[in-house]
Amino acid sequence: MKLSKKALEMLEYNGYSLKEHNDQITVSHSSFDSIGLIVILFLSLVGIVFLTAIEPWFGIGALVIAVLIFLPIIKRNKGSFKLTADKGKSRFEISGYNHAISFSKITGIFIHSKFVDEYSSAFKSTSEEHRVTIGLVAQNEQVPVFKLIADHAKPSKEMNEVYTFLEGIIQGGKSQQ
């Protein structure tokens, strides 16, 4: 089962890349966003130090404004992530997770939407931002795989396609056992 072009674009928009090679499918989250964030934080810090040296009250005001701007951005940062679905070995290997998860141990897949923020934009259909999480349920433990941004609480067609794609990988791996 393959993902459509729109589903791949949606994953790419959210910072994920998908690669298929033989019996392995690798999904990784780019840390490029994190590098850009670090550069902007560093440049802001240099500016704040410069303002503090000229006029301490301007520096303190700039620091307060920077904290108010960057704190929500840092909270939303996903960091680096890598998931490898090995169909031959019938297991998932997830970065940051201490062991591989066998397909037979997976009891289900979950999709959850959470309201994150409200904003104003002429380019979007709503003024809401939701975080849609798609993940695996293994032995009463939820392991998030995808953290996606959405305009609506209800997952989009492409997000549901990613859900079905994960489901297909697991079903295909279980049938090989």
Print pLDDT tens along the chain (177 aa).
688 899 888 888 888 888 888 878 888 876 556 677 788 889 999 999 998 999 999 889 999 998 888 877 766 555 567 888 887 788 888 776 667 788 888 888 899 888 877 766 555 566 777 888 888 888 778 888 888 888 877 888 999 998 998 888 887 766 665
Longest dimension (CA), the chain: 69
Residue 24 lies in a domain: no
Spatial separation of the C-alpha atoms in residues 107 and 29, rounded to whole Å: 25
Residue 23 lies in a domain: no
Three-state SS at 149: strand
Residue 157 lies in a domain: yes
Residue 139 lies in a domain: yes
Domain span at 71: 33-76
pTM of whole model > 0.75?
no
Spatial separation of the C-alpha atoms in residues 168 and 156, rounded to whole Å: 18
Residue 89 lies in a domain: no
111 and 52 both lie in a single domain: no
111 and 171 both lie in a single domain: yes
> What is the number of domains present in the chain?
2
47 and 13 both lie in a single domain: no
Residue 70 lies in a domain: yes
123 and 159 both lie in a single domain: yes
Tokens 């959850």 found at: 112
Please report, to the nearest 10 degrees, the dihedral formed by the alpha carbons of residues 148, 149, 152, 157 taken in order: -50
Residue 43 lies in a domain: yes
Beta strand pairing call for 16-21 and 106-118? unpaired
